[in-house]
Chain A
Amino acid sequence: MTQLDFTPAGSAAYTPGPSTTNLADILERVLDKGIVIAGDIKIDLLDIELLTIRLRLFVSSVETAKRAGIDWWETDPALSSRAAESALAQENRELRERVAALEEGAGDDDGGETGEGS
């Protein structure tokens, strides 16, 4: 299903902001974009971005995140198809190991899981 959450009924008049303003959308805009001016009160943007990471929001730019030594996106399946493939490969490997372990265990003690035993 396709979801279009704005009403085209709105005319040429400027509608102040989208009706559905989720926090992640706002944060990635107010933290990371625009012309940055050095303020007198130093709230380091990087600090704030790290906070948002604590909030589990992906808002920092790749560039800033790299500077902070953060590179989770390279292994996050949500962020690159290459990572998605390697995640699949890893899952496959883990499953193989698990199956092998199960088969081995089953051979040793004849069934492993004893809960269903008569």
Chain B
Amino acid sequence: MPGLPRTTPGRSADQPCSDVASALWVFAVCHAGAFAELPSGAGHPEGGPVTLLRLDDLLSAVVQDVPSSRFSEEVLKQRLADPGELESCARTHHRTVTAAAEHGPVVPLPLATLFNGEARARAALCARLPHFHAALTRVRGREEWAVKVSLRQTGTASAPSAPQDAPGGQAGAGRAYLTRVRGRERERVARHEQAVAAAARVHRAASALAVESVQRRPHSPQITGKDRLQLMNAAYLVDRGRALDLATVLQRAGADAASADVEVEVSGPWVPYSFTEPVEAPDDSPERAGSRT
């Protein structure tokens, strides 16, 4: 029912008790009236339409009613312990946040931000209104680009085989073997250093165009594959009009680095997930993660 105020049939919106038949999944915060309802396809397949919940004159939350049978604490813990379920939940969250961002700037909330009803959601979110206002201002008209720099590993990563075919027991064979090993290690360290320098050049080039940047921890070889070692996993907040400039600059930086088996990978635009944390973070850290009791 587009255009109508948010209605939730069968449930009193302000019901604060914990045994309600549905929960409220909050995806993001955006400007009030950014849209009425996202097209079907957004949100969790088990839930209702993705709508807006008004927070104050200026801000709304992007919310969806989801059945408790699938989103209670116990059920969710089990579901998210399953890699397939975790992936589909994460992708749904991301897809919905991204769909909302087509209507204006959004501040994404972490996966599984769930409340027992609109009143609870409004109370919790309104306590952080200044943060939301600041974050929306920070990301307005900007997008996030992810840039990764990796070193392609040549076939020497595994230890060379022991010289089992060496006849007799000459110590010389062992020393020659050690010398070969040391030589390869030196070569590997040199390649690594060159690649680190290339990553630094890529970062400088991107930073020159970006408003802000964040360095994330590089992905492990389990994700990237044994054939590449990720050295940089960065995100840049870029004015929307500058994406082409960024592409050009990174292409140049990547081409300069290509000789050293260095790979520059760019993806985007992302909703600016990495740039919505409160700037005065230390005071907020106790509220993060572990202390959500």
Which residues on A are within 8 Å of B, measured CB to CB?
A: 1-6, 8, 10, 12, 14-18, 20-49, 51-52, 54-58, 61-64, 67-68, 73, 76-79, 81, 84-85, 88, 91-92, 95-96, 98-100, 102-103, 105-107, 110-113, 116
Binary flags per residue of B95-123, CB closer than 8 Å to A gives 1, else 0 = 10111011000011111111110001000
A8 to B244, Cβ gap below 8 A? yes
Closest CB of chain A to B94's CB: distance in Å? 5
B200 within 8 A of A: no
Instruction: Report the stretch among B2-10, B46-54, B168-176, B203-211 that lies at the interface.
Output: B168-176
A103 to B174, Cβ gap below 8 A? yes
A34 / chain B contacts, CB cutoff of 8 Å: 107-110, 273, 276-277
- Which residue on B lies nearest to A100, using beta carbons? B174
A88 to B18, Cβ gap below 8 A? no
- Which residue on B lies nearest to A28, using beta carbons? B216
Closest CB of chain A to B58's CB: distance in Å? 16
What separation, in Å, do the CA atoms of A51 and B144 have in the docked complex? Answer: 26
What separation, in Å, do the CA atoms of A73 and B230 have in the docked complex? Answer: 13
Closest CB of chain A to B138's CB: distance in Å? 12
Contact of A14 among B93, B240, B248 (CB under 8 A): B240
Q: Kindly name the residue among A26, A61, A96 whose own CB sees the greatest number of chain B CB atoms within 10 A.
A: A26
What separation, in Å, do the CA atoms of A94 and B86 have in the docked complex? Answer: 39
What separation, in Å, do the CA atoms of A42 and B166 have in the docked complex? Answer: 63
Closest CB of chain B to A10's CB: distance in Å? 8
Contact of A1 among B97, B108, B244, B263 (CB under 8 A): B263
B218 / chain A contacts, CB cutoff of 8 Å: 58, 78-79
Q: Kindly name the residue among A31, A37, A58 whose own CB sees the greatest number of chain B CB atoms within 10 A.
A: A37
What separation, in Å, do the CA atoms of A73 and B216 have in the docked complex? Answer: 13
A26 to B219, Cβ gap below 8 A? no
B60 within 8 A of A: no
A99 to B178, Cβ gap below 8 A? yes
A26 to B90, Cβ gap below 8 A? yes
- Which residue on A lies nearest to B216, using beta carbons? A28
What separation, in Å, do the CA atoms of A45 and B163 have in the docked complex? Answer: 50
B267 to A33, Cβ gap below 8 A? no
A3 to B289, Cβ gap below 8 A? no
B267 to A57, Cβ gap below 8 A? no
- Which residue on B lies nearest to A84, using beta carbons? B192
Evaluate whether A112 and B269 lie within 8 angstroms (CB atoms) in the complex, with A52-B86, A55-B83, A88-B189 already known. no
B64 within 8 A of A: no
Contact of A106 among B102, B169, B248, B278 (CB under 8 A): B169
B71 within 8 A of A: yes
A45 to B178, Cβ gap below 8 A? no
B1 / chain A contacts, CB cutoff of 8 Å: none
B146 to A73, Cβ gap below 8 A? no
20 sample A-B contacts, Cβ–Cβ < 8 Å, listed by A number: A3-B265, A4-B266, A5-B266, A6-B267, A14-B102, A23-B90, A29-B270, A30-B90, A31-B111, A33-B277, A34-B109, A34-B277, A40-B18, A57-B219, A58-B218, A58-B219, A78-B219, A78-B220, A92-B185, A103-B171
> What 10 pairs across the A-B complex have the smallest Cβ distances?
A106-B169, A2-B254, A29-B273, A41-B114, A56-B222, A18-B267, A43-B112, A107-B169, A45-B289, A40-B116
What separation, in Å, do the CA atoms of A101 and B204 have in the docked complex? Answer: 49
B178 to A95, Cβ gap below 8 A? yes
B165 / chain A contacts, CB cutoff of 8 Å: 113, 116
B40 within 8 A of A: no
Contact of B94 among A4, A17, A52 (CB under 8 A): A17
B76 / chain A contacts, CB cutoff of 8 Å: 41, 43
B114 to A43, Cβ gap below 8 A? yes
